């Protein structure tokens, strides 16, 4: 019996670790101002690589300041929509795709800083930039969803999906993090928010954009809609966040411009109601490039007659 139990245990652990890809979750660290951050490290999850650099970004390692004046740097700031999550390899995340696209379009070395963590809101994002700075950025793109207008840090205990250390066993993680919620599903109701929450969230959104502008960094806002929202009316949070951006002269873009036609055509671009899958991240990358063309032109990229970004003319080529 003991040998059978041991064999069953080893088999379960093998399946959990090497078939399901558990046991090495991306970790989090607490921060007194930001609330929490991704812990720097190289993780293997669900067969994917999740790399978090020294700045707690889901981006390649890079120094705080530019290595060369010719280097282009763009910050993409947001929550789990920007982060991509552990269901995607770093190479599939929109910021990585965008970095490669922008390098091709501009003919210059490119760094894209993915400043994000699951469930972050404007206050978390503002605190991050106040702590780490803006990394010599040439442009910044802020991605918000309607609920970000009232997403206020709680500074409470971490959730089950925000581990601070690796589990001893992959099978234990499978049971605690995935099996139990299937048996006892968590509440699907959105937390109630007060007018004070909206006031704090919108105020932080304004301060975030003002901070970026104070560094003379061109910035744009992208509003991301869930699947349920794609066919619905404009929401309270969208209106509030768009109003803040527009009052500061910040251009506002919508993921619906690319996601709605894809969904109507039957394409699968979401993992769930809000998170883009690999194909959805490809759409996000396309939108980032379109936004960057507006923010950086004529410095780096400009649209050609078809609307696609192209490199600017090189010195001495006769271009104006």
Residue 11: CA count within 13 A, CB half-sphere:
6
Integer Cα distance of 297 and 307 in angstroms: 13
The pTM of the full predicted model, rounded to 2 decimals, is 0.89
pLDDT reading at 234 higher than 70: no
Specify the residue for token string 């396309």. Answer: 286
Which residues have a Cβ under 8 Å from the Cβ of 230 and sit 6 or more positions away? 256, 259, 260, 263
- The 10s digit of each residue's pLDDT in 98-123 is 999 999 999 999 999 999 999 999 99
pLDDT reading at 79 higher than 50: yes
Closest C-alpha to 119, from 68, 199, 211, 190? 190
The DSSP code for 276 is B
Integer Cα distance of 208 and 125 in angstroms: 7
What is the predicted pLDDT for the residue at 311?
A: 41
Which residues have a Cβ under 8 Å from the Cβ of 24 and sit 6 or more positions away? 43, 44, 45, 166
Integer Cα distance of 215 and 135 in angstroms: 11
- The 10s digit of each residue's pLDDT in 245-259 is 999 999 999 999 999
Residue 281: CA count within 13 A, CB half-sphere:
23
- Residue 39, classed as helix, strand or coil, is coil
**Which token pair is 88?**
């995607």
Percent of the chain with pLDDT over 90: 70
The DSSP code for 285 is H
Integer Cα distance of 295 and 301 in angstroms: 9
- The 10s digit of each residue's pLDDT in 285-306 is 999 999 999 999 856 554 443 3
Helix (H) or strand (E) holding 136: none
Integer Cα distance of 255 and 262 in angstroms: 11
- The 10s digit of each residue's pLDDT in 159-169 is 888 999 998 88
pLDDT reading at 89 higher than 50: yes
The number of beta carbons lying within 10 Å of the beta carbon of residue 182 is 7
Task: Report the pLDDT averaged over residues 193-208.
Answer: 93
**Which token pair is 312?**
């600017």
- What ranges make up the beta strands (E) of the chain? 28-31, 35-38, 41-45, 48-52, 72-78, 110-116, 139-145, 219-224, 252-254, 302-303, 309-310
pLDDT reading at 212 higher than 50: yes
- Angle ∠(92,138,215) on CA atoms, nearest 5: 125
Average pLDDT, the chain: 88
What is the predicted pLDDT for the residue at 42?
A: 95
If phi > 0 it is left, if psi is from -120 to 50 it is alpha, else beta; for residue 316 that is: left
Integer Cα distance of 72 and 100 in angstroms: 12
Closest C-alpha to 296, from 71, 115, 77, 63? 71
Buried b / exposed e along 51-86 (16+ C-beta atoms within 10 A)? bbbebbbbbeebeeebeeeeebbbbbbbbebbbbbb
**Residue 301 · residue 293 · CB < 8 Å:** yes
Q: Structural domains in the chain?
A: 28-169+193-309 (3.40.50.1110)
**Residue 256 · residue 287 · CB < 8 Å:** no
């Amino acid at each position: 019996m003991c040998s059978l139990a041991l064999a069953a245990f080893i088999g379960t652990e093998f399946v959990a670790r090497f078939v399901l890809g558990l046991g090495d979750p991306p970790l989090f660290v607490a921060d007194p101002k930001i609330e929490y951050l991704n812990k720097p490290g190289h993780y293997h999850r669900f067969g994917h690589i999740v790399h978090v650099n020294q700045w707690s970004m889901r981006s390649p390692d890079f120094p705080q300041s530019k290595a060369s004046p010719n280097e282009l740097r763009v910050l993409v700031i947001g929550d789990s929509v920007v982060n991509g999550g552990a269901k995607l390899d770093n190479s599939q995340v929109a910021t990585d795709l965008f970095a490669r696209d922008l390098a091709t379009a501009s003919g210059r070395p490119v760094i894209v800083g993915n400043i994000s963590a699951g469930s972050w809101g404007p206050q978390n994002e503002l605190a991050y930039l106040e702590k780490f700075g803006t990394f010599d950025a040439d442009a910044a793109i802020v991605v918000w969803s309607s609920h970000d207008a009232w997403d206020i840090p709680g500074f409470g205990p971490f959730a089950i999906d925000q581990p601070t250390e690796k589990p001893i066993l992959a099978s234990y993680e499978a049971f605690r993090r995935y099996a139990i919620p299937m048996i006892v599903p968590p509440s699907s109701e959105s937390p109630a928010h007060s007018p004070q929450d909206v006031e704090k969230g919108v105020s932080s959104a304004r301060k975030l954009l003002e901070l970026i502008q104070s560094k003379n960094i061109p910035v744009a806002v992208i509003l991301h809609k869930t699947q349920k929202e794609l066919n619905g009316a404009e929401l309270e949070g969208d209106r509030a966040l768009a109003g803040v951006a527009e009052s500061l002269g910040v251009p506002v873009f919508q993921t619906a411009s690319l996601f709605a036609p894809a969904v109507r055509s039957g394409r699968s671009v979401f993992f769930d109601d809000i998170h883009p899958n690999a194909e959805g991240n490809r759409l996000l990358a396309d939108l980032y490039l379109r936004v960057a063309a507006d923010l950086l032109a004529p410095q780096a990229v400009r649209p050609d007659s078809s609307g696609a970004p192209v490199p600017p003319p090189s010195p001495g080529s006769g271009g104006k």
